[in-house]
Structure 1
Amino acid sequence: MRVLALDYGSARCGCALSDPTGTLATPIEHIERPGTRKGLVRVADLAREREVGRIVVGLPLRLSGEDSDQTRETREWAERLKARVAPIPVELYDERFTTRIAARSSDTKTSEDSRAAAVLLDDWLALHGSELA
């Protein structure tokens, strides 16, 4: 089963996709303005085109673990996405530090947002990948 990871931001949504075995995470092209109707449709279409079995949305918590305005916006967007892609499960996953780690990458072929989504997905797969088999 493929997993799609999303690093939501109002300007861009970074995207990463796992291989069918749930072993590798690969950054793919980001989606512009995902909070718009058109952007949300594009994310849902991507999930269906790539035949994903689960979507993981990065949750930008504060370092203290508390919510911020961005956290609340991400939660609301994830709920809208969940309604759009049902029955594909959508879950939130702590994404603290993913953007910093992605910024250190020398890969310039994909956006920093999609590299952050790949870091998020790598972390998620390390914890949950065995459940995919």
Structure 2
Amino acid sequence: MKVDVDTPGVADPGPGRRIGIDVGTVRIGVAVSDPAGILATPVETVPRETDFNDPDLEDIDRLLEIIANNQAVEVVVGMPRDLKGNGSRSVLHALDISRRLRRRLETGDTSIPVRMADERLTTVAATNALRACGINARKGRKIIDQAAAVQILQTWLDGRANYLNRMSQEERSQ
């Protein structure tokens, strides 16, 4: 199935922290940006509880708590795709979590956009980075999800900066 993702910087909410989320079947990795939206850092790994048929459970509540505590202006959920842009069953998990977050964030006082980001090869990059630091895959399972969330969010932040710079240059040239 062909899966669409959002473009970083389009309909940008402005300055503020962003939350990056890597959805797995067992764990959800979470990262946060600095207030300027330049650098992503790991936050925590949230145990996955919610599945397609259950109501929102503690995992969704914890993600919403992280979003609120960081006063996030945008949430970026990784969309697992292959190199041709097609999705797998994992896409359904990411879409389900993003739908649940979007629904809960829309009922709050502020509307925080939930974006879908291309996460191709982020887990591979995160695994390689941890291996380079001397952390093996078995010991790194709990932090690999955070590292993947950092990769997702950092890629988004870089794309956002490029898009906003390009738009600014176009405005100046007119």
Q: State the TM-score, normalizing by the size of structure 2.
A: 0.70
> Residues 79 and 21 of structure 1: is their aligned pair in 2 closer, same or farther, counting only changes over 3 Å?
same
Q: Which has the higher strand share?
A: 1
| Structure ID, larger Rg | 2
Could you give the per-residue CA deviations for residues 75-128 of structure 1, whole angstroms, max 9, x where no partner exists? 122111111122110000010100000001227587000001111111111110
Helix, strand or coil at the partner of 1:48? helix
Partner of residue 44, structure 1: 64
Partner of residue 24, structure 2: 9
Please say if residues 40 and 81 of structure 1, whose CA atoms lie closer than 8 Å, have aligned partners that are also in contact: yes
Query: How many Å separate the matches in 2 of 1:76 and 1:129?
Result: 28
Q: Structure 2 counterpart of 1:72, which letter?
A: L
* Aligned equivalent of 1:122, options 154, 158, 173: 154
* Aligned equivalent of 1:101, options 103, 121, 125: 125
- Alignment RMSD, CA only? 1.8
Q: Structure 2 counterpart of 1:120, which letter?
A: I
Helix, strand or coil at the partner of 1:64? coil
* Aligned equivalent of 1:88, options 109, 112, 122: 112
Structure 1 runs not aligned, ≥5 long: none
Query: How many Å separate the matches in 2 of 1:107 and 1:40?
Result: 32
Q: Structure 2 counterpart of 1:128, which letter?
A: R
1:62 to partner: Cα distance: 2.3
Query: How many Å separate the matches in 2 of 1:78 and 1:34?
Result: 14
Q: Greater CA deviation, 95-104 or 70-79?
A: 70-79
Flag as ranges the 4+ runs of structure 1 deviating above 2 A. 107-110
Report how many residues are paired.
Answer: 131
> Residues 112 and 61 of structure 1: is their aligned pair in 2 closer, same or farther, counting only changes over 3 Å?
same
Q: State the TM-score, normalizing by the size of structure 1.
A: 0.90
